[in-house]
Structure 1
Amino acid sequence: MPGYRELARDGEFRALFVAHLVSVAGDQFARVALTVHVYNRTASAGLTALTYALTFLPDLVGGPLLSGLADRFARREVMVAADLVRAALLLVMAVPLMPLWALAALLVLVQFAGAPHGAARAALLPQILPDERYPQGQAVLSTVTQVAQVAGFLTGGALVALLGPGLVLVADAGTFGVSALLVGVFLLDRPAPRRPRVSAWPADLVGGARLVWGERRLRALVALACVSGFYIVGEALAVPYAAQVGAGPAGVGSIFAAYAAGTAVGMLLVAHLNARTQLRVMPWLAIAACAVLVPAALRPGLVVSVGLFALSGAASAYHLVANTTFVRAVPDFSRGQAYGLAVTALRVSQGVGVALAGLAAETVAVHRVVAAAGALGVLAAGGAAILWWVSGSRSNASRSGAPSRSDGTSRWDGPDAGKRYGRS
């Protein structure tokens, strides 16, 4: 299996990596800047929270509606266009004394533009890394996302204090400009996916939904991904959980860091496993990500709790396998649309899980809510695992790890899943 040095020598992947790193960090800067900006102008905690929520909610609509653009046009051009649109919108948002309603509207548009960009990147990565380097490349991008988010939040406040919200928004626009430049210059010019027929956009959306929900193995992968709606509860309730165990802000930071660090380490470890082993451990890791939260019912101290959260984060690395298997299994001409629908399902599960946990924590001790979410998650993950196992009963479980054919049709050929495939 090739190592990470070989990934670093791939010019296309290197450009994609740096572009993703700078844009993710810039997004976190902007989130901090916007919330500070709104609070400074309104002194309203409610409006501030609503502004922060607006940075996530449009993904629920943009995923299914706009991800299909990555299947209709050349994916490099989709990514460049999305980056330039976001850069322009952020520059407008940085204009002094911009009305709050206009800021909110522009913010929604920025998030909408992110949907086709993410779908195009996800669909393009298997073409950049068409062999067993693909899971490693996905692991690296997922890990850098965790690191960039943490670093962006930690440094965002300092940047806002130093430069002010307006200049931080300009800096975020600059990160999208850098991303567009790297993608446009260093990624190869690949044509738009070859489609079996020309169809209207609504038909693409319906066809993508039928593909995802009609194929049992794809449906099982989405179900496994949605298990995160249970184990994310520990992270969502980090502040009250830390307070309950007698820890202050440092305890909150430790909980967040435990999840992020555990996830990063877990992904790097999983990426080193061969394809057969990855697919075997995937459902068990989904179960473990929830099961390790059940001991929270005993109300352990901060140190033990941080260890539990780190283990949950490490086990959540099964997402890497589910993600790469899903993307490879979907025909290339529908990959962007299918990916957008899967991400939407994931976001909905996380949003519902966080909302219900927050309501439960109003009347039930936080450590019990976390433990209950873990126990329910074990049941949900077990059901998703059974669906996965049943879907593969007619053949070896490892065969879903094979890449798609160059003609756009997917194939399940486990015995060849570990061999190298030439760059197309």
Structure 2
Amino acid sequence: MRIAVIGTGYVGLVTGACLAGFGNRVTCVDVDEEKIRGLQEGTVPFYEPGLGDVILSNQRAGRLAFTTALPEAVRDARVCFITVGTPSDVDGSADLQYVLEVAEQIGAALEGPSVVVTKSTVPVGTADRVRHCVARALEARGAGIPFSVASNPEFLREGAAVADFLHPDRVVVGADAPEAEETLRELYSFLPQEKVLFMDIRSAEMTKYAANALLATKISFMNEMARICELVDADVEKVRLGIGSDGRIGYAFISPGCGYGGSCFPKDVRALRHTALQKGYSPRILQAVEDVNEAQKHVLFQKILRHFGGELGGRVLALWGLSFKPNTSDLREASSLVLIQDLLGAGASLRLHDPVALEEARRLLGNRPGLAFLTDHYEALEGADGLVLVTEWDLYKQPDFRLVGQKLREKAVFDGRNQYSGPELRRRGFAYYAIGRP
């Protein structure tokens, strides 16, 4: 099957590369010439485990190509995936300008029947707008080419995206015509039939937002529980074990920490909230989820400030972990960025380390006074007044605390992911602070 994938971010690259692995001929399109040139040379523009190997093997086999020429890619494509970004607008809504621009361009280039599939996370009603844009462009050409539209929201986790695509819990598809459903059933025939769920388009468009909002709600609830546990001198980790053992709840997404980030949870909660407000409903839970998460990103700063008596001028702190989660270089809405701004604003200097996100952090933060970017996590500790763990990379899980204590000027650990043993560190002479733990 010939497939065009427009947009080479996490979703587009993983989708295109993995589908090529099943024998499809896939062309991935992007307007960024430098990115496309790098992909043609085998350079993946972000860190995603396993993706580079999948891309390279399919390029060598002639099944996967990269181009900036959208018309050539979609001309005879049986399926056109739209995987461009839908960033939050100023009011929290999803900005659909790129999705609709691509839909227009597809309509201007199609030369045969095709299914136009939105894989970007989009609000309810987007399929209608995509259909209108494609139809308008075809009409302007005087071309009576048949097409259909579908919604196929992605559920990929950064850091595990390739495995998630190849072995998903489910694939959700909303199609507007039997031929679209038939084509997408054929495309996903590498999966067990029961894993591909077909529904009406509007329900499919809503599913991704609803799933992410629910997961974000669980995280924010546990962060609220952590605050309460600190007030009553309880241990939120013990509470987590207790409630997670209930089969109705489980352990997924109930780990407290210093706030969630990334490209999905923050944006999708806002977009779902905006959709509700547009329809005259005030979604109180969604607003609370967002408020709790934004407040949680400042919790570590408050703990650091209290430890140093409210004065951080001249203090040096080592930060371990900058990406919004492990196994990715993505810093979009990362908790680390909020903490860095708080600490710099209070006069502290920072020594930063991350296994893969240092260059992206340098690009975002620049060479600001008070920032040092270190390629060795132990070197980041040299002369620091404390260690702050922000992202729970495996590299940081079992450090040599004897060496940590030797390198730090003051033995203080601020654990934003409840990764270390407080009693053990205190026995070693460290001051230890965590989230919702005594």
User: Which structure has the larger Rg over C-alpha atoms?
Assistant: 2
The structure whose residues are more often helix, as a share, is: 1
The structure whose residues are more often strand, as a share, is: 2
Name the structure, 1 or 2, with higher relative contact order (CA <8 Å, separation 6+).
Answer: 1
The TM-score normalised by the length of structure 1 is 0.25
